[in-house]
């Protein structure tokens, strides 16, 4: 387990947030209610991007804009990692599976494929991460 994952579990413990050691939808409240609250929190964070865009457009010092961006992105990562701990989802292993899936998106020539926005598209060797994630979660709940 990475130091970050350990810190997240410590954080959840200090703030009396659930920490499941195994994958579970038991988080102290109905799972759908927890996911709705999480969505609301993330949306608040997402709207902070408008402040960062405004700062950039207003000609703010680049270091200030980068600091704002780093804080926002870090907060989003912490919120997501905290949710994973609540549901007992092994963050490091799941992210590794997702990254390996992302690497499988390369084109037949071994180069990335992008759409007009710069989003990475799926190449011919792409595989979905969900089956491997499901396999991992199954192995943890047996």
pLDDT score, position 27: 95
Total-model pTM: 0.87
**CA 23 to CA 60: how far, in whole Å?**
44
pLDDT score, position 1: 83
pLDDT score, position 142: 76
* Domain regions of the chain by residue span: 1-89, 90-142
Report CA dihedral (95, 9, 28, 39) to the nearest 10 degrees: -50
User: Residue 120: helix, strand or coil by DSSP?
Assistant: strand
Q: What is the CATH number of domain 1-89?
A: 1.10.3420.10
Residue ranges in the chain modelled with pLDDT below 50: none
């Amino acid at each position: 387990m990475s130091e970050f994952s350990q810190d997240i579990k410590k954080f959840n413990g200090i703030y009396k947030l659930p920490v499941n050691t195994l994958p579970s939808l038991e988080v102290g409240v109905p799972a759908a209610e927890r996911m709705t609250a999480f969505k609301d929190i993330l949306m608040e964070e997402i709207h902070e991007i408008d402040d960062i865009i405004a700062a950039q457009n207003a000609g703010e010092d680049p270091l200030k804009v980068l600091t704002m961006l780093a804080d926002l992105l870090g907060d989003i990562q912490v919120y997501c990692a905290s949710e994973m701990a609540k549901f007992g989802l092994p963050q490091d292993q799941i992210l590794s599976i997702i990254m390996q899936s992302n690497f499988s998106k390369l084109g037949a020539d071994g180069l990335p494929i992008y759409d007009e926005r710069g989003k990475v598209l799926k190449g011919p060797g792409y595989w979905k991460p969900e089956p491997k994630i499901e396999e991992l979660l199954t192995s943890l709940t047996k």
